[in-house]
Amino acid sequence: MVAGGAATRVWARAGTAEGDLPSCGEVCPSPATARLGCCSVARRIRRPGAGPLSTTVIPFETYRRKALGCWLGKAVGGTLGGPVEGQGGPLRLTFYDPAPDCMLPNDDLDLQVVWLEALRRRGLPVERRTLAQAWLEHIHLWPDEYGVACRNLTMGLYPPASGAFDNGFTAGMGSAIRSELWACLAPGDPQLAATLAREDACVDHAGEGIHSEVYLATLESAAFVESDRETLLDLAAAAIPGDCRVARAIADTRQWWAESGDWLKVREQLLQVHGRQNFTDVAQNLAITVLGWLAGEGDFGKAICAAVNCGKDTDCTGATLGALLGILDPDSIGEDWLKPIGRDLVLSAGIVGMHPAATLDEFTDQVAALALDVLEYYDSEVSLSNAPSLKDARENLSPPRHERAAGIALATPTPTNESLLVTEPLAVTLVYPPSVALTPGQPANLTVRLVNPTERALDLCLDVRAPDGWQLETEGTELVLAAGATETVALTVVPPGPERSRPYSNPLDLWLDVEGLLCPLSAGLVLTLPWRRWRLRSLADDCPQPPRGAELVEAAGHFQPLPDGSQAFASEVKLPFPCTLRYIAQAPRQVRVWLDGELINQHDGTHQVPAVHRAGPTGRDLLAARGWHRLTVAVGDGKGGELFVGLGDGESWDWLRQAEWRDPLTAALNR
């Protein structure tokens, strides 16, 4: 241990002299960022037989101070930014406004509290299926990607498909804001932190949303043992694709700051090049977070105010930057920032069925207890020295469920068309066609992937059953699955024809017998949504009626491409209960909307945020009875684009997850 309680690092790469630089092209972004001293960190990829690349020892008290600083900074930044969330900026905050008497509840911290309890209850490994179940049990917050993921989970789509399918917010901020837990569970091991972050992000995101959480988890994990800002930013940049929007927005922000040093000017450039109408867009908000760090010039308050004053998703940018700065230097958070919010852990009203820590200090101890287990379980080269027993925090902490995490961890790049159904006694994944949604009357090929994560061979038998009225082609499978081995079983299913209505739930039942233990599983088979589409000469106030020859369009979700010219669309939907229906229709043209033949909305198509709670002029609330309703949408003349039609609950902001659809022309013939 070096003087002052800093982290001690010993480099020992097989085949090189001690002190030589670790060199593996894909993980070392440049010689400058790979050249690390005793307080530095590099991303490490462990190769079988190559030996450890490095060993890092972090004194437990140093770790705990930084972890507590993380959560305190998170609370401070979120409380600062929460009241101005969604404002365009630039703003002029220099302190809390209004002054709080406790920390404001914020989903940025809420979700990480849920994840911690889920992991304490279920045990390691960290895997996406456990986190998905926690969404359904504990999180009654449904804006943007949260609501889409819950809708997908309700239909039986599990991660990573739950985050990718039919999701207009794959690039939202919802995953980036919960990266700190993975950094605190894998301090000084950014590669492991990134691996854990992927398991989380894929539940409700894909693409940019996953990249963003990987970026921040890498940055924050490294910040436990590295303090140089440019080194940290380079390490985080190397963890994600260089051509993704998140990487490009941050790289441009760094360059613009180097050129002008004027945060207002850089903000303007950033929003001009990378800005999006959706204020939660992750690329613009992560770049704003970095800009706040650059503009803060080492001052905690100045930094988080700069980030928040840029506007957009201000509770997230303030909280994320506050957490990072709290890891780097817990003492930088002045008492003037800490005293107004206290230390109590405050959760949002939408977090239910939980048993959280009472304070941020107690929460930090629970995270620390799990971190000790995570570092050991994943065989990290990082250790926490002189750790106390943490007896209270370890109470009810479950042991690992598997001897190994191999075969369960999410592949990279992240697939978008598969669902992890279960992780014990086997890891079972269902792989869908690329579109995920199945077309009625059309054969679809699926694959069941079985992975044995245990240390011994297992005898198993698999029987698969489709819903009534479906055709299924497969053979019963009996096999011996060796330790760590993978087997696949091919299936072909054919849904009933397009004249039938589309149930929201179509379970594919899998009866898995593992050495006499029967494990019933199910996965959702999602059907396309039927729309009749026909050409219009012009928009009119009268509701257009689909002609007999109107084309049947099978949309793989709530989005569909728009042909050129003025078009009309019609479908029918069944509501299972009376509700305040929020009927949303968006397209980049003039739009008119009818329900049961009555004109209820028209707009110019400039608002393009497919969310229940902020549909703006594209959504209308009306009381709707249970039963079938006709939806009709007409769009004006134009070229290309995309049509989105969504149905939500105007009171709860949740999507109507149990809505069922049918072809309006077939329905008319059958009446």
Range in 33-47, 247-261, 265-279, 395-409 the model is least confident about: 33-47
pLDDT above 80 (res 33): no
Would you say 190 and 225 are in contact if contact means Cβ atoms under 8 Å apart? no
* Greatest C-alpha distance within the chain: 83
In the structure, what pLDDT confidence band is assigned to residue 464 with cuts at 50, 70 and 90? Answer: very high
Q: Tell whether 457 is covered by a domain.
A: yes
Q: Is there a single domain that holds both residue 555 and residue 506?
A: no
pLDDT above 50 (res 53): no
Per-residue pLDDT tens digits for 187-207? 999 999 999 999 999 999 999
In the structure, what pLDDT confidence band is assigned to residue 591 with cuts at 50, 70 and 90? Answer: very high
Cross-strand partners of 447:
431, 490
Out of 501, 524, 547, a domain closes at 524
Q: Is there a single domain that holds both residue 498 and residue 553?
A: no
d(CA 312, CA 298): 23
Q: Is there a single domain that holds both residue 347 and residue 455?
A: no
**What is the model's pLDDT at position 669?**
59
DSSP label at residue 242:
T
Per-residue pLDDT tens digits for 349-392? 999 999 999 999 999 999 999 999 999 999 999 999 999 999 99
Q: Is there a single domain that holds both residue 111 and residue 196?
A: yes
- Take residue 604 and report the two structure tokens written for it: 């110019």
Average pLDDT rounded to a whole number, residues 86-109: 96
**What is the span of the domain harbouring residue 512?**
418-524
- Take residue 145 and report the two structure tokens written for it: 């990607």
Out of 524, 553, 574, a domain closes at 524
Residue (of 543, 550, 634) closest to 585 by Cα position: 634
- Take residue 606 and report the two structure tokens written for it: 């400039």
Q: Tell whether 47 is covered by a domain.
A: no
- Name the one residue in this structure whose structure tokens are 């889409």: 148
The separation between CA 305 and the C-alpha centre of its own chain, rounded to angstroms, equals 26
Residue 342 sits in a domain whose CATH number is 1.10.4080.10
**What is the model's pLDDT at position 668?**
64
Q: Is there a single domain that holds both residue 330 and residue 478?
A: no
**What is the model's pLDDT at position 415?**
95
**What is the model's pLDDT at position 405?**
72
pLDDT above 80 (res 6): no
- Take residue 271 and report the two structure tokens written for it: 């929003």
**DSSP, residue by residue, 168-203:** TTTTBTTTGGG-HHHHHHSTT-HHHHHHHHHHHHTT
Cα–Cα–Cα angle for 241, 329, 233, rounded to 5 degrees = 15
pLDDT above 50 (res 603): yes
Percent with pLDDT over 70 in the chain: 91
pLDDT above 90 (res 625): yes
pLDDT above 80 (res 21): no
**What is the model's pLDDT at position 541?**
86
Which residues make Cβ contacts (< 8 Å) with residue 162, sequence separation at least 6? 132, 149, 152, 153, 202, 203, 204, 419
d(CA 460, CA 346): 47
Q: Tell whether 224 is covered by a domain.
A: yes
Q: Is there a single domain that holds both residue 200 and residue 186?
A: yes
Out of 498, 524, 550, a domain closes at 524
The separation between the first and the last C-alpha atoms of the chain, rounded to the nearest angstrom, is: 81
Residue (of 361, 77, 42) closest to 225 by Cα position: 42
In the structure, what pLDDT confidence band is assigned to residue 670 with cuts at 50, 70 and 90? Answer: low
In the structure, what pLDDT confidence band is assigned to residue 14 with cuts at 50, 70 and 90? Answer: very low
Residue 510 sits in a domain whose CATH number is 2.60.40.10
- Our count of domains for the chain comes to 3
Inter-axis angle of helices 190-201 and 208-222, nearest 10: 150
Residue (of 621, 618, 594, 589) closest to 540 by Cα position: 594
Q: Tell whether 607 is covered by a domain.
A: yes
Average pLDDT rounded to a whole number, residues 109-128: 97
Q: Is there a single domain that holds both residue 148 and residue 201?
A: yes
| Collapsed DSSP state (helix, strand, coil) of residue 40 | coil
260 CB neighbour count, 10 Å cutoff: 12
- What Rg do the C-alpha atoms of the chain give, in angstroms? 26
Q: Tell whether 400 is covered by a domain.
A: no
Q: Is there a single domain that holds both residue 546 and residue 625?
A: yes
Q: Tell whether 87 is covered by a domain.
A: yes
In the structure, what pLDDT confidence band is assigned to residue 2 with cuts at 50, 70 and 90? Answer: very low
Residue 536 sits in a domain whose CATH number is 2.60.120.380
Q: Is there a single domain that holds both residue 78 and residue 162?
A: yes
Q: Is there a single domain that holds both residue 80 and residue 131?
A: yes
pLDDT above 80 (res 562): yes
Side by side, which strands form the sheet with 507-514? 477-481, 458-465, 507-514, 517-524
Q: Tell whether 587 is covered by a domain.
A: yes
Q: Tell whether 404 is covered by a domain.
A: no
In the structure, what pLDDT confidence band is assigned to residue 54 with cuts at 50, 70 and 90? Answer: low
Give the predicted TM-score (pTM) of the model: 0.92
d(CA 169, CA 145): 5
Mean pLDDT of the chain: 91
Q: Is there a single domain that holds both residue 496 and residue 575?
A: no
**What is the model's pLDDT at position 475?**
74
CA distances to 76, 132, 175 from 208, in Å? 26, 19, 10
Q: Is there a single domain that holds both residue 548 and residue 518?
A: no
pLDDT above 50 (res 34): no
Per-residue pLDDT tens digits for 405-418? 777 889 889 999 99
